[in-house]
Amino acid sequence: MRVEIPLLLVILLLSNFVSASSVFTVEEGELWVDCNNCSIEISKNDAILANGSNYALDVDQGQIELESYGGEDYILVLPDEENWPNQRPSPMQQSDHLNIPTQILCPCELGLSLEGRITSDQPDIIHIDTVNESTHYKIDLMASSDDLLISVFAQNLTNEWLIESFEISTPVRYQSTSTSLFVQHDAVTSEENRIFLQLETQSPRSFYSMNLSKFDTHSIHELTQPNGFVEGFGPQVISIPFNHTQEARIIGSDAIISQQLFVQENSMSNPILHQAGQSIIWAMPSTIQLELSVVTNQSWIIEYQIIDHGDGLEKIEAPAMLPQTNQTDNQSWPLLPLEKTQVSGELSLPIMDYVDVYRIETSGWDESIHLFQVVIEGDVRNLEATIWDMNQDLWIPLDSTNASFSMKSITISSQLGLGTHFLRIQLPNGSDSLPQEWGGNASVYAYTLDIYYELVDEGEEPWFPPNQEAVTWGERVRWILGIGMLLPAILLAWNLRIQRNQAAEILENKERIKWVKQRIQEVGAKQASKDLEKSLSGLALLEWEDAILSWGEPMLRHMTEGIDIAAWALDEQLTDDDSWPLLVGIKVGTDNWEIAGMRFEAPEGEPWEIKSVKPRLLSRDDEIFLDQLSAESRTFVQVNISGSAAMVSVHISGMVNEVPMAAKPSNAINRFQEEE
């Protein structure tokens, strides 16, 4: 795909100086310069070729020097070697198109620059796009030296038709008389349409410079900010979260807007048109979203603001009546907090709201006294307030207190009992001030509530007998928690019993190496390996000498006051990867060994590599990390090593009383000792 093949190269320069010069290498041909409120001088080899603000000039190949006076922008169109086609291709003929970036909402990008030179008998034909949906284009004609006829054509596989045509009869001066043209291509089907731009002139020749933009007008654009500016082009749909307590104000708009409200999820209100300028949109009950459809084929800008008219801390619309019974769900009535705080609300007559009822919840002893006071300020000169002290069983007011405006506010106080009570704020005879239709022109009374509360405890503190269901579940939970806490101890005791039984079995069966071979023959190598792993924990419970006797004469033994090491080679049938299984026992003396490690060294040949360790310990290459070996402890480790060496020696090292210590037997185990 070809991005752009300009006939002429347009250069836009900005100068902040009284005079600025530049040097250009040009091809032979005709150039054009257009400058607004400035003068351009072109010279070559110190010879002045031309001077002025708008002119064309024939130049030879080589370098030219341009100097501007006046410090304003100017356009310079230089000759180039490429040419646009002079005829539109047939619908079946192959043609490459430009790559125009698609824009959605603004600030808009620059788009694609097009420039060139045409003659009366050689127009420019530019394949600008291939689309399969309705598309809007904007053509900004920056400058032209003479008249232009701009035509936009569309083609499918069989037909061609004219979309739009614009005739520019007079030259367009750069930054003085720039012209914006708008093209709307309506796709009838989903087939691809090729869009062509055709530029013609009746003059002998005409230079031009333009910017081409493409806009997506098919998506719904969701806005999350409660206020701001939105810019765009062509018909767009803007979606804004909107609920029944809110008002949308279109502060400024230069386009016609069609308004629709989403009520619930599957219902939509009828569209309402708003002319350019200012508009006010009030939400309806159960509204969840506002959609604004911009009705224009030109660029536009909208400034909007979402205003919340909700009542109370919850910002919901306070009902106008009391709950019908004491069993009614009263969560729709805004709750007034008893701690000292300020709450705001409004009586919005445009949405038929001239009464707000708030909920008051008191708690404490049965005979306690609840002193409640509210100071109402704001636009309250015409408002009245009432507090109802409710009978919680009969659900009728035991007492009511009324107050009206006095000294810049409404102050109302009441002594309440235990339970739920209500505060009403209303505009007397408010129904007479309502508009004829929803969202009509009417007053909004905004107010704030400053709440003061005092609790006086009287009588005896109530005692409530426990609920029988709570007692039953309390007993069940105690049993469940008790059993849950005992389970780990039971499992530990069971595990110790199994280990003791294993130790007793090991003590009875001497020559465990022969036992291993026998188990391999009876149950197979895999099960025999598992049985051996289980018996390792039992070995640690035996006395050291008894454990050694159970395995027979060690093939490697090293005894000192600080540590005793014994090792045996096991039957290689225990492994399935040709590794060599070994069993190593360690008996620690009267001191702890810290940061202990065990290494398997090859006296001759390549080093050994540890394949597996049981129980699981950290290992690397030929070393095992034992961590801490406690005083008088007994540890047995079964390890599989791999390598080609014939012998292995065991080396144990660590820190004893913060002093490095090592133990290494003087002899080694021969892997082929039994065969010899």
Cα distance from N-terminal residue to C-terminal residue, the chain: 81
**Is 430 a member of any domain?**
yes
Task: Tell whether the model's pLDDT for residue 1 goes beyond 50.
Answer: no
Query: pLDDT tens digits, residue range 349-366?
Result: 999 999 999 999 998 887
CB neighbour class for 337 (10 Å; exposed up to 12, middle 13-18, buried from 19):
middle
Lowest mean pLDDT among 42-51, 100-109, 175-184, 619-628: 175-184
- Cβ contact 339:431 at 8 Å: no
User: Do 351 and 281 belong to one domain?
Assistant: no
Query: pLDDT tens digits, residue range 445-463?
Result: 999 999 999 888 766 655 5
Report the percent of the chain where pLDDT is more than 70: 84
**Is 176 a member of any domain?**
yes
**Is 496 a member of any domain?**
no
User: Do 552 and 425 belong to one domain?
Assistant: no
What is the span of the domain harbouring residue 592?
509-670
User: Do 611 and 514 belong to one domain?
Assistant: yes
User: Do 105 and 225 belong to one domain?
Assistant: no
Averaged pLDDT, 104-118: 76
Model pLDDT, residue 572 = 81
Task: Tell whether the model's pLDDT for residue 490 goes beyond 80.
Answer: no
- Boundary of a domain, candidates 417, 434, 456: 456
Averaged pLDDT, 414-426: 94
**Is 58 a member of any domain?**
yes
User: Do 295 and 233 belong to one domain?
Assistant: yes
**Is 83 a member of any domain?**
yes
Task: Tell whether the model's pLDDT for residue 57 goes beyond 50.
Answer: yes
Model pLDDT, residue 3 = 33
CATH of the domain at 403: 2.60.120.380
User: Do 78 and 103 belong to one domain?
Assistant: yes
Query: pLDDT tens digits, residue range 645-667?
Result: 889 999 999 999 888 999 888 88
Task: Let me know the angle formed at the C-alpha of 510 by 508 and 515, rounded to the nearest 5 degrees.
Answer: 105
Lowest mean pLDDT among 17-26, 320-329, 467-476, 565-574: 17-26
At residue 30, φ and ψ (nearest 5 deg) are -110, 130
Model pLDDT, residue 502 = 58
Number of domains in the chain: 4
Query: pLDDT tens digits, residue range 190-249?
Result: 678 899 999 999 999 999 888 888 887 767 778 888 888 888 777 888 888 888 889 988
- Boundary of a domain, candidates 413, 441, 456: 456
User: Do 409 and 432 belong to one domain?
Assistant: yes
Task: Tell whether the model's pLDDT for residue 16 goes beyond 50.
Answer: no
- Cβ contact 294:302 at 8 Å: yes
**Is 469 a member of any domain?**
no
CATH of the domain at 298: 2.60.120
Task: Tell whether the model's pLDDT for residue 266 goes beyond 80.
Answer: no
User: Do 148 and 229 belong to one domain?
Assistant: no
**Is 329 a member of any domain?**
no
By DSSP bridging, strand 237-241 and strand 220-222 are parallel
- Boundary of a domain, candidates 209, 240, 273: 209
Averaged pLDDT, 400-417: 93
Model pLDDT, residue 226 = 82
User: Do 156 and 31 belong to one domain?
Assistant: yes
**Is 476 a member of any domain?**
no
Model pLDDT, residue 671 = 84
Model pLDDT, residue 10 = 44
At residue 642, φ and ψ (nearest 5 deg) are -130, 140
User: Do 518 and 589 belong to one domain?
Assistant: yes
User: Do 352 and 449 belong to one domain?
Assistant: yes
Output the average pLDDT for the chain: 83
- Cβ contact 149:138 at 8 Å: no
The DSSP string of 385-444 is EEEEEE-TTT-SEEEEEEEE-BTTBEEEEEEE-SEEEEEEEE-TTGGGG--SSTT-S--E
Each as own residue / partner, the long-range contacts of residues 3-6 (CB below 8 Å, 24 or more positions apart, any chain) are: 3/98, 3/99, 4/98, 4/112, 4/113, 4/114, 5/82, 5/84, 6/80, 6/82, 6/114, 6/115, 6/116
Averaged pLDDT, 538-557: 78
User: Do 196 and 237 belong to one domain?
Assistant: no
> How many other CB atoms are found less than 10 A from the CB of residue 521?
10
